């Protein structure tokens, strides 16, 4: 694919198909500040310099710190840069991620994200997790209320099934789904196909899986050598070729790693090479 290839998010926001995930801008386990805040700021700025137009974050990253770093790095935001954030995962402690989808909580978190990101409207606000203790209609309804108030532009979901997407779309227009998906974690293939048919962006989190396939001597190593790439770059290139609905968001806290990830957009895979990946996965 071309580095400048875009996806139209929500019908009105063109974004380049290789984005940046901002969870790793914070401390260990997405908790607390980074060891070097200026280095984190530099990563965000370099991502935009290299053409990234879609940045994904969440209120839970830090909590709040990732959003603050993005604003420090980019505000006032360059034209065309879309920042997506999420709410619905509370952080009682460093080790805990607890779904919390009460409408009043989601509305509060949206207000805090607006403040931290220094914007009047959030480009994309995603339900980070479906809270099983709260009706999905109430959770999506809270986001629809925020949209009607002009505080968010578009609504997305995370870690959902096709049935949940359909239920949510009875209440609001859903423009994105963010589920875990990569070369070796394809459990949401049905969701991906549904999103592609319906014009919904599929944002795979953890787009580069840990494991043998990404190692120097792993199953991707030979093809990577032939293409002058790393196994991790091939993992990203596979996503970009696999479906035009995919919008990968690899994350990092280092500029060198960022540059390596983004170079995956320049890798061209032939149909014959793509046919090797199911066996490798």
Q: Which residues are catalytic?
A: 61
> DSSP 3-state assignment of 59?
coil
d(CA 185, CA 187): 6
Distance (Å, whole) CA 177 – CA 235: 20
How far is 74 from 90, CA to CA, in rounded Å?
Answer: 26
DSSP string computed for 106-174: HHHHHHHHHHHHT-SSEEEEEESS--TTS-HHHHHHHHHHHHHTTSEEEEEEES--HHHHHHHHTTS-E
Q: Which of 238, 45, 63 is nearest to 55 (CA)?
A: 45
Report the distance separating Cα 41 and Cα 56, nearest Å.
Answer: 15
SS3 assignment, position 45: helix
Q: Which distant-in-sequence residues (6+ apart) come within 8 Å of 55 by Cβ? A: 19, 20, 22, 44, 47, 70, 81, 82, 83, 84
Give the strand order in the sheet containing 82-87: 20-21, 54-56, 82-87, 122-127, 152-158, 174-178, 201-202
Q: Identify the helix (H) or strand (E) that includes residue 56.
A: strand 54-56
């Amino acid at each position: 694919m071309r580095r400048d290839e875009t996806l139209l998010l929500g019908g009105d926001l063109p974004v380049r198909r290789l984005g940046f995930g901002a969870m790793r801008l914070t401390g260990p386990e997405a908790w607390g500040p980074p060891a070097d805040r200026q280095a984190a700021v530099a990563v965000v700025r370099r991502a935009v310099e290299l053409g990234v137009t879609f940045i994904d974050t969440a209120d839970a990253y830090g909590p709040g710190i990732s959003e603050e770093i993005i604003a420090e790095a980019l505000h006032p935001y360059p034209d065309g840069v879309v920042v997506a954030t999420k709410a619905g995962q509370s952080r009682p402690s460093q080790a805990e991620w607890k779904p919390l989808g009460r409408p009043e909580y989601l509305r509060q978190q949206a207000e805090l994200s607006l403040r931290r990101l220094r914007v009047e409207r959030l480009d994309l606000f995603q339900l980070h997790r479906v809270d099983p203790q709260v009706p999905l209609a109430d959770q999506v309804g809270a986001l629809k209320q925020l949209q009607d108030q002009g505080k968010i532009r578009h609504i997305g979901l995370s870690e959902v099934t096709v049935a949940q997407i359909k239920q949510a779309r009875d209440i609001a227009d859903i423009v994105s789904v963010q589920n875990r998906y990569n070369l070796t974690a394809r459990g949401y293939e049905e969701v991906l196909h549904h999103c592609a048919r319906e014009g919904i962006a599929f944002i795979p989190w953890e787009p580069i899986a840990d494991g043998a396939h990404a190692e120097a001597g792993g199953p991707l190593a030979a093809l990577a050598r032939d293409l002058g790439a790393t196994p991790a770059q091939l993992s990203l290139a596979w996503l970009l070729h696999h479906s035009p609905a995919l919008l990968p968001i690899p994350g990092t806290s280092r500029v060198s790693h960022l540059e390596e990830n983004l170079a995956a957009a320049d890798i061209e895979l032939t149909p014959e090479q793509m046919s090797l990946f199911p066996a490798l996965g």
